[in-house]
């Protein structure tokens, strides 16, 4: 049995999970890392322990497919280890799905998961550049050249906020 208590205060947000098993009681207390709990923005930060940590059947049993913003609940953040229950993609804990609808953070953020710069962005850029796909025309001058590669590298090295 899992008991989840969500408390949101002006200064802190704490999620307490108590898992009771036949042999022992395990209590885990952690900050869910909401974007701005003090101002009621309960969307999850990129490093939240609540990402991919929910229980799929709790939503499936109630035919819930969208989060509070109307975005898909079953979105897998591939850079996060699934700690929840069910078959991937595992839902996030809370009312909002982390990567659902997140926009790219800059010109180099070309592939999912958005908001994170990683190897998938590099391979997407390389393939698009080779195919002369407009997404690789970073400086938008309709020419695929070293300036686009330099602009991509600069944006990639800046990282996501």
Residues 5-57 have pLDDT tens digits of 444 433 333 333 333 332 223 335 578 888 888 888 888 887 889 989 999 99
Which tokens hold the place of 37? 């709990």
Contact 73, 100 (CB under 8 A): yes
Q: Answer whether residue 25 is part of any domain.
A: yes
Question: How many structural domains are present in the chain?
Answer: 2
13-20 and 25-30 beta bridge pairing: antiparallel
The pLDDT of residue 66 is: 86
Q: Answer whether residue 69 is part of any domain.
A: no
Is 78 a residue whose pLDDT tops 80? no
Higher pLDDT, 2 or 126: 126
The pLDDT of residue 112 is: 75
Q: What is the pLDDT of residues 86-102, one digit of tens each?
A: 988 899 998 888 865 56
The per-residue b/e assignment along 43-53, b for 16 or more CB within 10 angstroms, e otherwise, is bbebebbbbbb
The residue with tokens 């050249």 is 145
Q: Answer whether residue 148 is part of any domain.
A: yes
The pLDDT of residue 146 is: 97
Q: Answer whether residue 78 is part of any domain.
A: no
Which tokens hold the place of 129? 């550049």
Contact 135, 108 (CB under 8 A): no
Q: Answer whether residue 159 is part of any domain.
A: yes
Alpha helices in the chain (DSSP H): 56-60, 119-130, 146-158
Model pTM above 0.85: no
The pLDDT of residue 5 is: 45
Q: Answer whether residue 93 is part of any domain.
A: no
Q: Answer whether residue 64 is part of any domain.
A: no
Q: What is the pLDDT of residues 104-120, one digit of tens each?
A: 788 998 887 778 899 99
**Range of 11's domain?**
2-46
Is 136 a residue whose pLDDT tops 90? yes
CA distance linking residue 46 with residue 119, whole number of Å: 17
CA distance linking residue 111 with residue 124, whole number of Å: 7
């Amino acid at each position: 049995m899992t008991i989840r208590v969500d408390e949101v205060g002006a200064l802190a947000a704490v999620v307490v999970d108590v898992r009771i098993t036949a042999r022992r009681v395990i209590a885990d207390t952690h900050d869910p890392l909401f974007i701005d709990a003090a101002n009621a923005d309960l969307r999850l930060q990129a490093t939240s322990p609540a990402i991919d940590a929910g229980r799929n059947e709790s939503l499936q049993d109630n035919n819930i497919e969208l989060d509070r913003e109307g975005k898909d609940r079953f979105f897998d953040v591939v850079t996060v280890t699934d700690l929840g229950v069910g078959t991937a993609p595992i839902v996030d804990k809370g009312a909002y799905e982390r990567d659902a609808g997140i926009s790219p953070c800059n010109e180099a953020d070309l592939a999912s998961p958005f908001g994170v710069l990683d190897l998938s962005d590099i391979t997407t850029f390389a393939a698009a550049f080779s195919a002369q796909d407009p997404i690789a025309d970073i400086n938008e001058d309709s020419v695929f050249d070293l300036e686009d590669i330099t602009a991509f590298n600069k944006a990639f090295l800046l990282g996501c906020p």
